């Protein structure tokens, strides 16, 4: 008879060393910086994509404890997760509305985005069917061309929303195309267009109580765009909205990514490394293998481009990054198995930030932050010891020599 496997509650195992570390003291520092920039405007913390890869629920609770009383998410599922975790503050779902989900929005008391007369009528009909009133924000498309009503139809739609018995219009908003480039005139043109719409709604008596425009980039680079609410996202996590954005210098990154050397070997001059042998050793030297790959969110596009930090120094990633493993050339230096490695973050006096990885991968820092897979544990620097990864398990065997030339 096949032996019975251990029950889930009895399983105790040590995770591989790869993990995302989140510094919640940096989160609160960034919140304070953004609050100063916001002036009297209310903060709506935007926690899309698992709070930019930091963990939706822990981050939401940290911000709520710090006094944030409004949240924005992209999709219904994220809003439901907040409600199920006990978050009671208003939550606006910023993304497009799927009609068959309407009852769930109302069941979980989530605020909706109305981007057209058709959507507004759908919301009203479902709310009246359920005997409820939906809290709605009118989205005005001033240039993004994603969702939202055009400025020339927004005033009429605001009037219609005010007349629908199943709708409570609580907000009107737009989104800027390129506020991370403050010298570029598009954002100012969008703001002017939006302000004209807001003034017309005010004159008509249909202006909702909350007007909002500013994301992180606008909040830091366009100081007159705060309105009633601001919507910081990436700035909460200490990352600039563009690679060269001095307005964000006061922010501190919350996310770092760590692993360890799990294999160490010598290779001869000319030896090929990894799938396709896209890199060859320039001389006899040493390779370190890391237990992380593109299956964890370390992009394959970083192959032969990125660097990692070991012992406070930079070493190049060599060969094609595999799904689960990455090789690093350390040349004449030697390390032991178990040596800490930083993929993203600081070690000693060296730092690898999200924009550095993004530029090597041909993408943006947002994608780096959000891309870490769910199989990579999130560890919070201020966790009590009883909640840290593997804290109550026996210590690891420690560092060992891993190979020879």
Tens of pLDDT, residue by residue over 299-333, are 999 999 999 999 999 999 999 999 999 999 999 99
Burial (Cβ within 10 Å: 0-12, 13-18, ≥19) of residue 403? middle
Q: Do 255-387 and 24-239 have the same topology in CATH? A: no
Residue 223 pLDDT > 90: no
| pLDDT band for position 1 (cuts 50, 70, 90) | low
Instruction: Retrieve residue 130's tokens.
Output: 């359920």
For residues 208 and 197, the answer to whether their CB atoms sit within 8 Å is no
Instruction: Retrieve residue 338's tokens.
Output: 């178990």
| pTM for the structure as a whole | 0.91
Q: Which residue out of 48, 52, 119, 366 is catalytically annotated?
A: 48
Residue 359 has a pLDDT of 98
Which H helix or E strand runs over 69?
A: none
Cα separations in angstroms, 140 against 173, 203, 287, 293: 6, 17, 54, 41
Cα separations in angstroms, 210 against 52, 85, 92, 173: 25, 26, 12, 8
Question: Hey, where are the domains in the chain?
Answer: 24-239, 255-387
Residue 92 pLDDT > 80: yes
Q: Is 315 a catalytic residue?
A: no
CATH 3.20.20.10 fits 24-239, yes or no: yes
Residue 6 has a pLDDT of 55
Distance CA 177, CA 256 (A): 28
Instruction: Retrieve residue 301's tokens.
Output: 């596009």
Residue 382 has a pLDDT of 73
Q: What is the mean pLDDT of residues 4-25?
A: 74
Q: Which residue out of 100, 156, 275, 366 is catalytically annotated?
A: 275
Checking DSSP bridges between strand 19-22 and strand 378-380, what pairing results, if any? parallel
Residue 251 pLDDT > 90: yes
Cα separations in angstroms, 173 against 44, 177, 190, 317, 402: 12, 13, 12, 44, 57
Distance CA 306, CA 325 (A): 14
Residues near 100 by beta carbon (within 8 Å), at least 6 away in sequence: none
Checking DSSP bridges between strand 350-352 and strand 167-173, what pairing results, if any? unpaired
For residues 323 and 298, the answer to whether their CB atoms sit within 8 Å is no
Residue 396 pLDDT > 50: no
What 3-state class would DSSP assign to 369? helix
For the chain, percent of residues with pLDDT exceeding 70:
91
Residue 218 has a pLDDT of 95
Residue 88 pLDDT > 90: yes
Structure-model confidence comparison of residues 23 and 382, the more confident one:
23
For the chain, percent of residues with pLDDT exceeding 90:
84
For residues 228 and 209, the answer to whether their CB atoms sit within 8 Å is yes
CATH number of 255-387: 2.40.37.10
pLDDT tens per residue, range 34-87: 999 999 999 999 999 999 999 999 999 999 999 999 999 999 999 999 999 999
Residue 354 pLDDT > 70: yes
Alpha helix (H) residue ranges in 238-361: 354-361
Q: Is 48 a catalytic residue?
A: yes
Residue 240 pLDDT > 70: yes
Residue 337 has a pLDDT of 96
Which H helix or E strand runs over 13?
A: none
Residue 43 has a pLDDT of 98
Residue 181 has a pLDDT of 83
Residue 342 pLDDT > 60: yes
Residue corresponding to tokens 């006094």: 67
Instruction: Name the β-bridge partners of 92.
Output: 72, 111
Measured N-to-C along each axis, helices 56-65 and 24-38 cross at an angle, to the nearest 10 degrees, of 60
Nearest Cα neighbor of 375 from 321, 319, 294 is 294
pLDDT tens per residue, range 125-167: 999 999 999 999 999 999 998 999 999 999 999 999 999 999 9
Residue 235 pLDDT > 60: yes
Q: What is the mean pLDDT of residues 173-187?
A: 87
Write out the DSSP string of 79-144.
HHHHHHTT--S-EEE-SPPPGGGHHHHHHTT-BEEE-SHHHHHHHHHHHHHHT--EEEEEEB-SS-
Computed over its alpha carbons, how large is the radius of gyration of the chain? 25
Other C-beta atoms lying within 10 Å of the C-beta of residue 80: 19
Residue 14 pLDDT > 90: no
């Amino acid at each position: 008879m096949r032996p019975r496997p251990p029950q889930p509650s009895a399983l105790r195992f040590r995770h591989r060393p790869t993990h995302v570390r989140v510094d919640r003291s940096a989160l609160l520092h960034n919140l304070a910086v953004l609050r100063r920039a916001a002036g009297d405007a209310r903060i709506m913390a935007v926690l899309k994509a698992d709070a930019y890869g930091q963990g939706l629920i822990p981050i939401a609770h940290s911000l709520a404890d710090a006094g944030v009383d409004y949240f924005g998410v992209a999709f219904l599922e994220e809003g439901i997760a907040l409600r199920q975790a006990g978050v009671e503050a208003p939550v606006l779902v910023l993304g497009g509305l799927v009609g068959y989900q309407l009852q769930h929005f109302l069941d979980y008391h989530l605020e909706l985005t109305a981007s057209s007369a058709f959507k507004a009528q759908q919301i009203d009909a479902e709310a009246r069917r359920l005997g409820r009133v939906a809290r709605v924000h009118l989205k005005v498309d001033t240039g993004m061309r994603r969702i939202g009503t055009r400025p020339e139809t927004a005033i009429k739609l605001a009037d219609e929303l005010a007349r629908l018995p199943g709708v409570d219009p609580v907000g009107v908003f737009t989104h800027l195309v390129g506020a991370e480039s403050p010298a570029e005139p598009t954002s100012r043109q969008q703001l002017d267009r939006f302000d004209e719409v807001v003034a017309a709604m005010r004159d008509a008596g249909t202006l909702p109580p909350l007007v909002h425009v500013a994301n992180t980039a606008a909040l830091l680079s366009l100081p007159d765009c705060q309105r009633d609410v601001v919507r910081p996202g990436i700035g909460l996590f200490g990352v600039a909205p563009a690679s060269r954005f001095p307005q964000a210098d006061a922010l501190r990154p919350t996310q770092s990514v760590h692993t360890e050397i799990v294999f160490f070997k010598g290779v001869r001059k000319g030896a090929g490394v990894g799938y396709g042998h896209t890199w060859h050793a320039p001389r006899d030297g040493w390779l370190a293998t890391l237990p992380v790959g593109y299956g964890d969110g370390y992009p394959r596009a970083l192959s032969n481009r990125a660097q990692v930090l070991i012992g406070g120094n930079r070493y190049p990633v060599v060969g094609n990054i595999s799904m689960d493993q990455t090789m690093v050339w350390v040349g004449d230096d030697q390390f032991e198995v178990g040596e800490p490695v930083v993929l993203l973050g600081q070690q000693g006096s060296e730092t690898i930030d999200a924009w550095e990885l993004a530029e090597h991968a041909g993408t943006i820092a947002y994608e780096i932050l959000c891309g870490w897979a769910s199989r990579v544990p999130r560890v919070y620097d201020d966790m009590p010891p009883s909640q840290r990864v593997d804290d109550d398990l026996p210590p690891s065997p420690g560092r060992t020599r891993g190979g020879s030339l």
